[in-house]
Amino acid sequence: MKFTLVLLACLTMTLQGCSTIYTVSSDRTAPEELKQDVCRNECSIPRVYSGVALDFCMILKGDGGQGSAIMFWDIFFSLPADTLILPYTAYLQITKGSISSDTICQSSNVTNH
């Protein structure tokens, strides 16, 4: 029983940092932190496989430090999670478009660095 609780706690903590949860958990719009990250790095994040796309964006456009290493390992968690929610994200992609469209970056008043 203890092992199950520890495993559940570890899984919960792991999912808190998962890019898929980060990109999909917003209430019908992109979270403000995500807008800043995406607009600053000039990445296009589609809603389909958004977690994997965010990980690759941050790895390729990031500073190459510890954050890039964390994002690399997150790909292995985001890929199966993105696959599980594929029907939902496909619907969102059709109805709402990509997370980092030009209107999102312009409306959030985020400067590109």
Q: What percent of the chain has pLDDT over 70?
A: 62
CA R_g for the chain = 15
- On average, the pLDDT of the chain sits at 74
Determine the Cα angle at 62 with ends 61 and 65, to 5°. 150
Q: Which residue has the higher pLDDT, 100 or 49?
A: 49
Q: What's the pTM value of the predicted model, to 2 decimals?
A: 0.69
* pLDDT tens profile 91-109: 989 988 887 645 456 655 5
Q: How far apart are CA 102 and CA 81, in angstroms?
A: 27
Instruction: Tell me the average pLDDT across 70-84.
Output: 88
pLDDT band at 90 (very low <50, low <70, confident <90, very high): very high
Identity of the highest mean pLDDT range in 17-26, 52-61, 80-89 = 80-89
